[in-house]
Structure 1
Amino acid sequence: MVTPPPLPESVQHSTAIGKHPCAECGANLEWSARKQALVCPYCGTTAPWQGAHAQTGDAIAELDLERALRDPAITRKNWGAELKEVKCQSCHAVSVFVDSRVAQRCDFCGSPAIVAHEDQGDAITPQSILPFKISDGQIRDLIKKWYRTRWFAPNRLKTAALTDTLHGIYLPYWTFDAHVDAHWRAEAGHYYYVTESYRDSSGHSQTRQVQKVRWVPASGRLRHFFDDELVPGSSGVHQQLLRAVEPFPTQTDLKPYSPEYVRGWTVERYQIGLADAAALGRRQMDSKLHTMCASQVPGDTYRNLQVHADYQGRTFKHILVPVWLVSYTYGRKTFQILANGYTGQIAGERPYSWVKIFLASLAALIVLGIVLYFMQ
């Protein structure tokens, strides 16, 4: 049995991390994705910064899942800065602002119906973060290029300055690790062929090869380590878009959380709690484990696969990952375009121009008719 590591000191006790005032004007410095440094939002002064972990030697810690589910309080610490929370009355997303002015509209759906949200003190604070790496200028160019390839989008959409609604947001994610020892049983199918005689439509006798399956019992064992199984905790971003811009390199590029990374940015408070996220992560692991066991079944096919898994050493992290979000309304429907703030991967939704679709279909029918005419 694998013994989970003890909770780090930085999680067991609350710590306050100081602000970084600008040397020129005294304002709080904010993380710049373009410069990969702390930059003053008012006078532009740049201050190189390596992060608190470079000074204290803190490492990314995996936390004991079973212990946290029994007592979530052990995973709470302060954010190292003053927080303001607002909740959207339309999409119900809860946004957190660290030492910054609160937005007047929801960053996720654009609704002005946002109200102050009182921190209940029950939230698990993030232990680590993936800082923004792709700047807003780079994302605007990528989104405009994405627009130009949407052939059936309305012309009015392509000419609209939709990137004006671009927002950088840190989204909540959970990661789960586990060692699994699985035993499986199945019926392995082996193909073989027999020759059968039959009569064709003219009454002549013919032969053909017919595939059969010979079923035999099979069993095996599989050991695997799941490392950073990702489960989003967001409710503000459409899930299919979020999955489309994954992966986030959480296994290699995470940094210990520090408020310098999020000051001036919007942070979404998770809406999927640890218990629900752990259940989702377990289902994801079970599905992948079933596929891995199926690949071990000998023969050509299989049926009645049963997997009995023992999970040990289950740990988790609550992390923040960066995305760029465009939310816009076309007609009566709200659409989102999402970009990975670390890799630049883009996925989006857009309306369709039924006029363009009709004209394209009509053109295809005309071409088909011409081809059939000359083939006669």
Structure 2
Amino acid sequence: MSHSPTPAPSPEQEHRFPCPQCGADFRFAAGQGRLICDHCGAEAPIEGDGFHPHPIRELDFRAALDAELPAQEIEETRVLQCPNCGAQVEFDEKDHAAECPFCATPVVTDTGTHRHIKPRGVLPFTLDERTARKAMTDWLGRLWFAPNGLQDYARKGRRMQGIYVPYWTFDADTKSRYTGERGTIYYVTRTVMRDGKQVQQRVQKIRWRPASGRVARFFDDILVLASRSLPKRYTDALEPWDLAAMEPYRPEYLAGFRAEGYTVELIEGYDEARDHMARVIERDVKFDIGGDRQRIHNIDTDVKDVTFKHILLPVWLAAYKYRGKTYRFVVNGRTGRVQGERPWSAWKITIAVILGLIAAGIVGYLVALNQGAL
């Protein structure tokens, strides 16, 4: 098996890497950190994989809002937009029709391009499709009242799609001033009437005193989903992501996979990040106030040095149409964590109800016999 240096992509085929021996396309081998040609077996290392002594550089948020990012931070890719779920997914120029990997809707690919902020980092796949499929079918097998047919269909059905899902990360330095009150619990004894008798009762009270102060926090890599194609509750359930293992973006990691374009714009992602900051700062303020109870009247936060990056995280995705309904499942391409739509089997539920009624009837009959014997 030969080893060749990674071939340089042409501008119009940025995410395709032809094998220098046979001309077929290389693909990125999940978990192996190199490119492999399935046609002839040739391999090519990815330059710098696993070794990047400097942290991935963030971009200036204000410059991005003012459209002042350097030209090299912007790229154009050919995408299709699904008319059903709105996903924007990169496709090869040779494809003229395809199926949306997010909802299994047949679509005709668009020949247009999508201009966007180039990814700064990518978390490569470490699980291959076979391992991800096993994780999904095992997850389905553990679900009560799931239809057996769906599990078999998922095990034997079409291949799962490896998708790099877009996220934003935000860094920010914050300083907050607050006013509020600190509550201290104390007890008093009161005499009350109970059943016609006087009894002593302890009553809890809170003594409130004014409180004010300052808290500071630096936020690093607040993660915000930049896709609308998957329910957020599914992608949240795939966390945590090992962002420390992220590689600087290189298109070689996308070879053989698809990448979704972001549909949550940068300013929308920042608004969500600010909501996250506000929740954390509120907890910091309560801790700073101290006492047994806290009241917050006002928090005034200065946010400075906001930076961001567009990153791609690996997700194995399956969208199966089974008996007229589409079921979607997602698998973390690093950990094998699974989430998806919860399928139900009507006949399994019916049988369980019938068996429950039979069991209740038997118990009732035995109780009646026992009472009759007495």
Say yes or no: TM over 0.5.
yes
**Number of residue pairs the alignment of both structures matches:** 357
The answer to whether structure 1 residue 95 and structure 2 residue 89 are counterparts is yes
Please point out which of 88, 99, 109 is paired with 1:105: 99
In 2, Cα distance between equivalents of 1:357 and 1:207: 54
8 Å contact from structure 1 (residues 38, 47) kept in 2:
yes
Code of the residue aligned with 2:308 in structure 1: it is F
* Deviation of 1:28 (Å): 3.0
In 1, Cα distance between equivalents of 2:262 and 2:241: 17
Rg: which structure is higher?
2
8 Å contact from structure 1 (residues 180, 310) kept in 2:
yes
The verdict on how the C-alpha distance between 1:367 and 1:320 changes in structure 2, with shifts beyond 3 A counting, is same
The verdict on how the C-alpha distance between 1:260 and 1:147 changes in structure 2, with shifts beyond 3 A counting, is same
Identical pairs, percent: 35
In 1, Cα distance between equivalents of 2:54 and 2:191: 75
Provide the residue aligned with 2:269 in structure 1: 277
Provide the residue aligned with 2:4 in structure 1: none
Code of the residue aligned with 1:29 in structure 2: it is F
The answer to whether structure 1 residue 326 and structure 2 residue 318 are counterparts is yes
Please point out which of 62, 74, 97 is paired with 2:58: 62
Provide the residue aligned with 1:43 in structure 2: 40
The answer to whether structure 1 residue 296 and structure 2 residue 269 are counterparts is no
Structural mapping, 1:159-308, within 5 Å: 159-161=152-154, 164-200=158-194, 202-250=195-243, 252-308=244-300
In 2, Cα distance between equivalents of 1:19 and 1:326: 23
Please point out which of 323, 333, 337 is paired with 2:329: 337
* Deviation of 1:127 (Å): 1.7
8 Å contact from structure 1 (residues 98, 265) kept in 2:
no
In 1, Cα distance between equivalents of 2:210 and 2:108: 60
In 2, Cα distance between equivalents of 1:42 and 1:287: 52
Name the SS of the counterpart of 1:116 in structure 2. coil
Structure 2 alignment gaps of length 5 or more: 1-10
Structure 1 length as normaliser, TM-score?
0.84
Please point out which of 124, 129, 132 is paired with 1:136: 129
* Deviation of 1:161 (Å): 2.8
Name the SS of the counterpart of 1:277 in structure 2. helix
The verdict on how the C-alpha distance between 1:217 and 1:236 changes in structure 2, with shifts beyond 3 A counting, is same
8 Å contact from structure 1 (residues 186, 218) kept in 2:
yes
The verdict on how the C-alpha distance between 1:330 and 1:198 changes in structure 2, with shifts beyond 3 A counting, is farther
The verdict on how the C-alpha distance between 1:190 and 1:54 changes in structure 2, with shifts beyond 3 A counting, is closer
The verdict on how the C-alpha distance between 1:38 and 1:274 changes in structure 2, with shifts beyond 3 A counting, is same
The answer to whether structure 1 residue 29 and structure 2 residue 22 are counterparts is no
In 2, Cα distance between equivalents of 1:362 and 1:218: 61
What RMSD over aligned residues (CA atoms) do the two structures have, in Å? 3.1
Code of the residue aligned with 2:287 in structure 1: it is S
8 Å contact from structure 2 (residues 79, 114) kept in 1:
no
In 2, Cα distance between equivalents of 1:117 and 1:203: 86
Code of the residue aligned with 1:69 in structure 2: it is L
In 2, Cα distance between equivalents of 1:366 and 1:198: 53
8 Å contact from structure 2 (residues 86, 229) kept in 1:
yes
Provide the residue aligned with 1:4 in structure 2: none
The verdict on how the C-alpha distance between 1:76 and 1:285 changes in structure 2, with shifts beyond 3 A counting, is farther
* Deviation of 1:76 (Å): 5.1
* Deviation of 1:170 (Å): 0.5
* Deviation of 1:68 (Å): 1.1
In 1, Cα distance between equivalents of 2:360 and 2:287: 45
The answer to whether structure 1 residue 127 and structure 2 residue 120 are counterparts is yes
8 Å contact from structure 1 (residues 197, 208) kept in 2:
yes
8 Å contact from structure 2 (residues 18, 25) kept in 1:
yes
In 1, Cα distance between equivalents of 2:71 and 2:203: 62
* Deviation of 1:328 (Å): 2.0
Structure 1 alignment gaps of length 5 or more: 1-13
8 Å contact from structure 2 (residues 168, 224) kept in 1:
yes
* Deviation of 1:368 (Å): 6.7
The verdict on how the C-alpha distance between 1:112 and 1:175 changes in structure 2, with shifts beyond 3 A counting, is same
Structure 2 length as normaliser, TM-score?
0.85
In 1, Cα distance between equivalents of 2:94 and 2:312: 18
Deviates more, 1:170-179 or 1:280-289: 280-289
* Deviation of 1:244 (Å): 0.8
Deviations 1:260-301 (A, max 9, x none): 111221111100111111111111111121122222221111
